[in-house]
Structure 1
């Protein structure tokens, strides 16, 4: 079950040798934006990170839990009124412990909005 049920829709998904690239449409009418922020919607960073987790889980077919965030750099605001289509590029590797090292760049109009690197364990 997705935590962000109905928050976004997958428009396109492509796998490659390193991971995947997924184009999603954020629901600009979602109730999350009522509080974040009225008349000036901003996609919460934690929701963006949750999308990375959910896309990775779907790709791997496994439930994941964030073990460690190595790099989290927000570079632009994702305003769903202006940028409802957002691309998530994910590179997924396994480490010596069997954990998943995931690096992601989140893009709006080909410009980075978030660069994320983290380690997830299977639950």
Structure 2
């Protein structure tokens, strides 16, 4: 079996991002319906109102998540899209860690 490392393009597929937004919207809609008592024995007007508000909450959540993810994708450098991801992105490299832990000027002394 070959050691296939995913590219950034593989990690940011549009269908997966739409799926994430859809799942978040579905969650928000269900939470709204449950909190408004749509699954309880209530008059038809209240259940209809809960369904309408749940649909609005789901739609707003879908749009907000989609726009937020799109804006976050704009922060990615297009030149790095085809690079292989071979290490964690938020962990500093070893040379940066040693430079941060080994200052060249020595320990600072507090000024009085």
TM-score of the two chains, using structure 2 as the length reference: 0.27
Larger proportion of helix: 2
